Amino acid sequence: MIRMLPARAHTRLMTLRFAGLIVAIWAWNSAAAQGSSAAPDSTQRQIDALAQSLKAVQAQLQELMQQNRALLQRQQELEQQLAKTLPAAPSPAVAAQPPQNPVPPASPTPPPPSGPSPAANASSPFGDLRLWGYGEIYYTRPTHDEKESQADLARAVFGIGYVFDSRTEFNSEFEIEHAVSSADDPGEFEVEQFYIDRRLNDAVTLRAGLFLMPFGLLNEHHEPTNFYGVQRNFVETLIIPSTWREGGFNLHGDTGFGLEWNAGLTTGFDLSKWNFAPEFPLYTTALELEDSDSAPLQTTHQELALANAQHLSQYAALGYYGVPGLTLGAAISTGDAVKVPAPPNVPIPGNQRVTLWEGHARWTPGNLDLSALYAHGAISNLSIANASNPGSPNPIPSQFYGYFVQGAYTAWNQDDYRFAPFVRWERYDMGSRYEGTSGPVVPTGLVPISANPGDYGYWPINQDRVWTVGANFYTSPHLVFKADYQWFHYNSDFSRFDLGLGLAF
């Protein structure tokens, strides 16, 4: 729409000017008609007047033609600028942001979208500045524990980008979680991305700053229009700590035959933040599970907030989209973490290394949208740390993993409307192996779950199998209504019904 504005304005202007000309000719005609019946001595005066009018009309016509040429020239300039900022062969390297087309991509799968959306790019009122945003609102009702029902403006995110030149651009996103952020409220205000991209050549781009890690299907494309289900899946929340970002730099690019690559050096994890002795469960509902920072990497990632940078992590990611309708990807990150505080006078030999890897696939034949993902994390050298905290309900796991398979089907698609039911099965285990302990001491029976007298519940366990069945209903590519139901195998009280509203622009 915005891109069309100059041409439409031009057309409208021309219409007005030609209308003026027609009025002038009509006036001349009617004057001539009147003149035929007028006295001869006045005829010469009328001819003079008409000649003057004609001159005036000619001058106006000249002026209009000049303006028309100027407008055409301006339109050509704008189109050239647009062509520069939207290269014909987009680099997948800058795929991260801002939000792109909603799932599923029309079959065949297009290459990962590049750079800011056209609408954002052409925000001519702001010149080289670009704005975008997304957000989501949940309603969640645990069906076994309805008093825990909640409604939440889970996130409102605003993006700001700036194109410095044809090779350099800046992108950032600022997020408010849970609506209100203050000392007395549960919300957070955080910088989710803040980086510079500099294209070194057509194949390689350098990125530096705080950026999203290219892991999984969701982490970089986490706008609510981009995933099925009201909430993000658990594997890409609890194992891959979406929205996972680190500070550092990377090189990324595209081979031109459907293979994209990305490798970088970033900040890592801080295990000294670990809480071995939670008095009460860190979460008692599925919603709290997602928000509680209880998962191994959720609770230890640093988000570039005075991040300890003694150790850096390395990562590499590959993606392949060369076969229409198919996307394959894998990534690995590894690096030494800030160590768990050791007992005094006990040097813990060596480092504690955090490694996370994942593989994923997505296939979109026809109206189907099938995807699967496996992610596995490991933390080394934990035996002393865990052994010095016996009886802990929350020791640090040395291994954790999760995987899911998901199928969606576009059952109805008309104009911008689209209705796509889906089903997902996922398995996560936030502590599949431990060193120095046999595992968390999980209290049994009804236990106090807060300091409020009489507030009893069951202590959750840190693994589950979850079925999710639901549907996304798009009224446009930018706006989606969602509903789903989730069954939890182990933490059965977490089972819940969800409604959601998501938007991205």
Partner 1 sequence: MLRKSVAGWGAFGLAMAIALSGCGGSVAGGAASSSASSSAATAAAAAAAAGKAIFFDTSLSVSGQQSCSTCHVPSHAFTADPVTDHGLPVPLGGPNMDQTGFRNAPSLMYASFTPPFSLSNGPTGGFFRDGRASSLAAQAQQPFVTPFEMANSDAAEVVGRLRNSAATLAAFVAAYGESVLSDPEATLQDMGLAIAAYETQDDEFHPFSSKYDYWLQGQAQLTAQEQNGLNLFNNPTKGNCTACHPSQAQGYSSHALFTDFTFDNIGVPRNWLIPANTQGSVSPIDGAPESTVLTPVDVPADAEYAYYDMGLCGPFAPSQSDVNARPILSATTSLCGIFKVPTLRNIAVTSPYFHNGVFTDLHQVLEWYVTRDINNNTGNNPNPVAAGPGGNPYEAVGTFYTAANGTPDLYEYNDLPVEYDANVNVGEVPYTPPTFGGGQAPTLSAADIDDIVAFLCTLTDGFDPQNPTAYNVPAQCQPTAATSAAR
- Does residue number 349 form part of the binding site for partner 1 (CB under 8 A)? no
Here's the x/- map for partner 1, 390-409, by CB under 8 A: it reads as xxxx----------------
Shortest spacing between CB 459 and partner 1, in angstroms: 7
Residue 220 token pair? 């970089």
Between 265 and 441, name the residue whose CB sits nearer to partner 1. 441
Q: With helix as H, strand as E and coil as C, how does 278-300 read?
A: CCCCCCCCHHHHHHCCCCCCCCC
- Does residue number 452 form part of the binding site for partner 1 (CB under 8 A)? yes
Residue 246 token pair? 């680190």
Q: Which of 441, 479, 483, 499 binds partner 1 (CB under 8 A)?
A: 441
Three-state SS at 238: helix
Contacts of 408 (CB under 8 A, 6+ apart): 103, 104, 228, 368, 369, 370, 420, 421, 422, 423, 472
By DSSP bridging, strand 353-363 and strand 456-458 are unpaired
Query: How long a stretch of residues is the chain?
Result: 505
Residue 406 main-chain phi, psi, to 5 deg: -145, 140
| CA–CA dist 488, 432 (Å, integer) | 18
Between 402 and 431, name the residue whose CB sits nearer to partner 1. 431
Residue 115 token pair? 């750079």
- Of 87-95, 103-111, 171-179, 278-286, the segment contacting partner 1 by CB under 8 A is 278-286
Shortest spacing between CB 274 and partner 1, in angstroms: 10
E-assigned strand segments in 91-218: 129-142, 150-165, 168-177, 188-199, 204-212
| CA–CA dist 235, 220 (Å, integer) | 15
Q: Which of 11, 66, 73, 450 binds partner 1 (CB under 8 A)?
A: 450
- Does residue number 51 form part of the binding site for partner 1 (CB under 8 A)? no
Shortest spacing between CB 446 and partner 1, in angstroms: 5
- Does residue number 344 form part of the binding site for partner 1 (CB under 8 A)? yes
Residue 502 main-chain phi, psi, to 5 deg: -130, 145
Shortest spacing between CB 383 and partner 1, in angstroms: 11
Helix (H) or strand (E) holding 499: strand 496-504
- Does residue number 451 form part of the binding site for partner 1 (CB under 8 A)? yes
Q: Residues binding partner 1: what is the number (CB under 8 A)? A: 31
Q: Which of residues 369-388 bind partner 1 (CB under 8 A)?
A: 388
Q: Which of residues 457-476 bind partner 1 (CB under 8 A)?
A: 459
Q: Which of residues 183-212 bind partner 1 (CB under 8 A)?
A: none
According to DSSP, the residues that pair with 5 across neighbouring strands are none
Shortest spacing between CB 451 and partner 1, in angstroms: 4
- Does residue number 272 form part of the binding site for partner 1 (CB under 8 A)? no
Is the bond preceding 108 in cis, omega lying within 30 degrees of 0?
Answer: yes
Here's the x/- map for partner 1, 77-116, by CB under 8 A: it reads as ----------------------------------------
- Does residue number 348 form part of the binding site for partner 1 (CB under 8 A)? no
Helix (H) or strand (E) holding 423: strand 417-433
∠ Cα 441 141 287 (to 5°): 45
Q: Which of 108, 343, 350, 365 binds partner 1 (CB under 8 A)?
A: 343
Between 44 and 147, name the residue whose CB sits nearer to partner 1. 147
Between 366 and 445, name the residue whose CB sits nearer to partner 1. 445
Q: Are 391 and 434 in contact (CB under 8 A)?
A: no
Between 143 and 389, name the residue whose CB sits nearer to partner 1. 389
Between 347 and 366, name the residue whose CB sits nearer to partner 1. 347
Between 3 and 273, name the residue whose CB sits nearer to partner 1. 273
Q: In which residue are the tokens 């009893």 written? A: 456
Q: Which of 256, 341, 350, 365 binds partner 1 (CB under 8 A)?
A: 341
- Of 254-262, 343-351, 372-380, 477-485, the segment contacting partner 1 by CB under 8 A is 343-351
Q: Which of 20, 443, 465, 475 binds partner 1 (CB under 8 A)?
A: 443
| CA–CA dist 420, 423 (Å, integer) | 10
Q: Which of 110, 258, 278, 407 binds partner 1 (CB under 8 A)?
A: 278
Three-state SS at 233: coil
Q: Are 458 and 493 in contact (CB under 8 A)?
A: yes
| CA–CA dist 500, 34 (Å, integer) | 73
- Does residue number 279 form part of the binding site for partner 1 (CB under 8 A)? yes
According to DSSP, the residues that pair with 212 across neighbouring strands are 245
Q: Which of 165, 346, 365, 411 binds partner 1 (CB under 8 A)?
A: 346
Q: Which residues bind to partner 1, rule: CB under 8 A?
A: 276-280, 341, 343-346, 388-393, 441, 443-448, 450-456, 459
